[in-house]
């Protein structure tokens, strides 16, 4: 039976993550980049000031909502989204890309990230524009909602929108147990056993208890933990990686040269012809890039939609920063750490050690920090992977709520927490493969929604730029629903006054 599942999964995975799918993912980003007039570059300073810069200048960005308000702050939504995206992909994924695709794979990760910024932007804009409040007064949004209420509102598309929304929710629900739970916990348990000799069952039991205390408290408690955990873990990892890069500063220039040469086949290729090397670099760079920042999957929009923000474009800009921080900053630092450490032949791209995944990154850190290097990476994976579990628990809960109703989500949370121990103690090779498959399957209905609704994203973006940047007096586009539009427009006018 397992053999049959593996065969079917391999066939589906090859289709899902084949060249056509990667073209669709990047193509969507290119289209949204063009429709928004290269927003991520043309307004770089603006979105940087109004995302990470606003934390220090605008009190409402980090000011917690009142106890009875079920929404979360913009900063909390970013941290929760980053909690899910900054995970093992930033360490294990980058190392895997370097081993399979060579240094050139990093260039294609950058390309995916550049265009993925606008895919993520578009998802967030649509998420805010089509969100509604549930029975508990909490904002609910995501691909399933803009598929049902956006695509479904088009002539003759009501049934199509409903079916795609359901499919997305089912794929998201299944992915939450794979990539969002067992695979992450399995990585933690393996690294804790290797670095500190802690039995997987103990790691699983402890993490299950901690997760239960957080998850059963709902999105506000998850967001509260994320806003404390994510900045700490990201800053600690960035500082550690920068230390390795600074000490190996003489190798940084050659490392960048290897990345660009490898991307276009302008170097010898270890174990293959030039054309094959370029293909491997492109394929692995794009796959790991998407795996890392999740742009196009429609996942992080579910937590961004819980924000107390009123302007869809404002939350869209947080989506741009999310991809920028995850791939351009963290993944690049991981790559430079490995490439500058002497563990990779920068002329051929060959890895000069048998270490793979997190062990390769740990060995790179060990060149500077000695024995503490692998331990540091083990602790980093603990924080990165566990934060991913927290973020994905909300994604799965949102999908479960869409399928079965608000009151049923407690069932999902209990089962999700129980699977943490399962993930810590099982051999999850198949689970990793299934995770990739369901991740990819999520992207198909989501991208159909983004592409179909791209004119709306363009109009909302133009409306925001006209009002907020050019200072024109035009009516804001804040929601697809008249009652919410009126309420939000009134609050925006009050804030302006």
Q: Would residue 402 be called left, alpha or beta, if left means φ above 0 and alpha means ψ between -120 and 50 degrees?
A: alpha
The CB density around residue 399, as the number of other CB atoms within 10 Å, is: 28
| Distance from the Cα of residue 482 to its chain's centroid | 31
In 54-158, DSSP assigns E strands to: 132-133, 139-140
Q: Residue ranges per domain, the chain?
A: 2-462
Instruction: Give exposure, 9-47, as e/b (b: 16+ Cβ within 10 Å).
Output: beebbeebbeeebbebbbebbbbbbebbeebbeebeeeb
- The listed range with the strongest mean pLDDT (4-18, 264-278, 333-347) is 333-347
Q: Do 323 and 289 touch, CB atoms closer than 8 A?
A: no
Query: Mind listing the pLDDT tens digit for each residue in 314-373?
Result: 989 988 988 898 888 888 888 898 888 888 777 776 776 776 666 788 888 888 888 888
pLDDT at 427: 66
Token readout for 89 is 């992909």
| Whole-number Å distance between alpha carbons of 226 and 207 | 15
Read off the pLDDT of each residue in 415-435 and give the average, rounded to a whole number: 74
pTM score, whole prediction: 0.85
DSSP class of residue 325? I
SS (H, E, C) 136-160: CCCEECCHHHHHHHCHHHCCCCHHH
Asked if 453 and 146 touch (Cβ cutoff 8 Å), the reply is: yes
Residue with tokens 């916990």: 185
Q: Do the beta carbons of residue 188 and residue 390 sit within 8 Å?
A: no
Looking at the DSSP bridge assignments, the partners of residue 132 are 140
CATH of 2-462, one of 1.20.1740, 1.10.10, 1.10.1060, 1.10.3470: 1.20.1740
CA 168/CA 161 separation, integer angstroms: 11
Core vs surface per residue 350-360: b (16+ CB within 10 A) or e: ebeeebebbbb
In degrees and rounded to multiples of 5, residue 344 shows phi and psi of -125, 135
pLDDT at 409: 83
What per-residue confidence (pLDDT) applies to 353? Answer: 73
């Amino acid at each position: 039976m397992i053999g049959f599942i593996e065969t079917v999964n391999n066939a589906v995975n090859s289709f899902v993550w084949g060249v056509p799918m990667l073209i669709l993912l990047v193509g969507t980003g290119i289209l949204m980049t063009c429709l928004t007039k290269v927003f991520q570059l043309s307004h770089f300073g603006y979105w940087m000031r109004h995302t990470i810069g606003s934390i220090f200048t605008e009190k409402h960005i980090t000011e917690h909502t009142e106890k009875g308000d079920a929404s979360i702050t913009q900063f909390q939504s970013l941290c929760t989204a980053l909690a899910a995206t900054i995970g093992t992909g930033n360490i294990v994924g980058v190392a895997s890309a370097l081993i399979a695709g060579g240094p050139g794979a990093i260039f294609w990760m950058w390309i995916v990230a550049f265009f993925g910024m606008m895919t993520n932007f578009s998802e967030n804009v649509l998420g805010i524009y089509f969100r509604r409040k549930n029975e508990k007064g909490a904002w609910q949004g995501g691909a399933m909602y803009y598929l049902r209420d956006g695509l479904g509102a088009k002539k003759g598309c009501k049934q199509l929108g409903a079916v795609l929304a359901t499919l997305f929710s089912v794929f998201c629900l299944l992915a939450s147990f794979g990539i969002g739970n067992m695979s992450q916990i399995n990585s933690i348990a393996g690294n804790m056993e290797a670095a500190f000799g802690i039995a997987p069952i103990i790691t699983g039991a402890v993490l299950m208890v901690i997760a239960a205390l957080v998850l059963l408290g709902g999105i506000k408690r998850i967001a509260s933990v994320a806003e404390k955990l994510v900045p700490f873990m990201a800053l600690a990892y960035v500082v550690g990686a920068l230390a390795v890069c600074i000490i190996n500063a003489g190798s940084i220039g050659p490392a960048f040269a290897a990345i660009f040469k490898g991307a276009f086949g302008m170097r010898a290729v270890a174990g293959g012809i030039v054309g094959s090397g370029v293909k491997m670099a492109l394929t692995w760079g794009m796959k790991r890039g998407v795996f890392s920042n999740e742009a196009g999957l429609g996942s992080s929009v579910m937590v961004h939609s819980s924000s107390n923000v009123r302007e869809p474009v404002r939350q869209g800009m947080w989506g741009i920063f999310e991809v920028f921080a995850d791939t351009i900053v963290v993944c690049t630092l991981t790559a430079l750490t490995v490439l500058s450490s002497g563990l990779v032949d920068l002329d051929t791209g060959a890895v000069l050690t048998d270490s793979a995944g997190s062990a390769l990154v740990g060995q790179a850190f060990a060149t500077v920090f000695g024995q503490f290097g692998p331990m540091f990476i083990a602790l980093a994976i603990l924080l990165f992977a566990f934060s991913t579990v927290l973020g994905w628990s909300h994604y799965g809960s949102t999908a479960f709520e869409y399928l079965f109703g608000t009151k049923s989500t407690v069932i999902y949370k209990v089962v999700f927490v129980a699977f943490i121990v399962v993930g810590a103690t099982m051999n999850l090779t198949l689970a990793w493969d299934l995770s990739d498959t369901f991740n990819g399957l999520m992207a198909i209905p989501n991208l159909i929604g983004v592409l179909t609704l791209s004119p709306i994203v363009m109009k909302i973006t133009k409306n925001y730029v006209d009002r907020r940047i050019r200072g024109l007096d035009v009516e804001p586009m804040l929601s697809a629903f008249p009652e919410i539009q009126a309420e939000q427009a009134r609050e925006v006018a009050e804030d302006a006054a």
